[in-house]
């Protein structure tokens, strides 16, 4: 799948983020969206052999709309400057551990794996699992392959203080402070445009599957 035209279109949206421009370009957008859906289908087929929980998903229902929800945002520009897809056992709703890929020009494409802001009940379960089996999580995130691809957890929404019920000197306190359990990996435009990008994306997702498995076990 070649993304040259898609990246160019997304760059153009940055300069012309208004309804008048977009409506004129909408036929072209729909062509690019169809191409992206083909990519999503190929991605799904490639990752299922490594994660059977994705079996049976409809690839046409996994990508996100380009229209922004501006109701509660100071930024009223109507369109996103990216295309994105999420895959989990429940579809694109990321209430369960899964995978998210965002295509965006300017070397801003990335993949995220894990669970974003779980509901309070599941957050409590994950913290309890870390309390009981933090060593197991440590083996996952300290694995040589995992660390080389992802590094540490995304922690922009982490607690500043110790979560209730846990000691501040807990050996895994930094993980217990997390409100999301996400790891990310960024891709340059050159990587995205490489003909072997699909394989690279699948390999990246696959490297984080043990994290998803750990989180699924925790909330099951």
Write the DSSP string, 155-183: -TT--SSPPTTS-TT-TTHHHHT-S-EEE
Q: What does the pLDDT look like over 73-124, one tens digit per residue? A: 888 999 999 999 999 999 987 689 999 999 999 999 999 999 999 999 999 9
Say what the pLDDT of residue 120 is: 96
Torsion of CA 6, 11, 12, 17, to 10 degrees: 110
d(CA 198, CA 2): 10
The CATH number linked to 199 is: 3.30.930
Say what the pLDDT of residue 70 is: 83
- Kindly state the DSSP code that residue 34 receives in the 8-state scheme: H
Range of the domain at 169: 4-219
Q: What's the number of domains the chain is made of?
A: 1
Which positions ≥6 away from 210 have C-beta within 8 Å?
A: 140, 143, 146
pLDDT confidence tier of residue 147, bands split at 50, 70 and 90: very high
pLDDT over threshold 70, residue 26: yes
pLDDT over threshold 90, residue 179: yes
Over residues 31-38, mean pLDDT:
96
Over residues 44-57, mean pLDDT:
96
Say what the pLDDT of residue 74 is: 85
Say what the pLDDT of residue 1 is: 63
């Amino acid at each position: 799948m070649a993304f040259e035209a898609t990246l160019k279109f997304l760059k153009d949206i940055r300069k012309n983020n208004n309804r008048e421009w977009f409506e004129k370009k909408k036929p072209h957008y729909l062509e690019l969206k169809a191409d992206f859906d083909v990519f999503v289908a190929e991605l799904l087929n490639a990752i299922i052999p490594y994660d059977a929980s994705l079996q049976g998903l409809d690839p046409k229902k996994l990508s996100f709309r380009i229209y922004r929800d501006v109701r509660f945002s100071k930024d009223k520009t109507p369109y996103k400057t990216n295309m994105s897809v999420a895959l989990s056992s429940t579809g694109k709703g990321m209430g369960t551990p899964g995978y998210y890929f965002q295509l965006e020009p300017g070397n801003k494409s990335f993949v995220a794996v894990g669970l974003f802001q779980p509901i309070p009940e599941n957050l409590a379960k994950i913290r309890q699992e870390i309390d009981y089996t933090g060593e197991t999580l440590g083996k996952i995130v300290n694995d040589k392959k995992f660390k080389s691809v992802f590094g540490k957890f995304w922690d922009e929404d982490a607690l500043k203080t110790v979560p209730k019920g846990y000691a501040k000197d807990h050996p895994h306190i930094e993980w217990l402070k997390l409100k999301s359990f996400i790891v990310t990996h960024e891709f340059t435009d050159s990587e995205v445009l490489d003909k072997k990008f699909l394989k690279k994306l699948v390999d990246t997702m696959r490297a984080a599957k043990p994290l998803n498995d750990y989180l699924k076990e925790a909330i099951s």
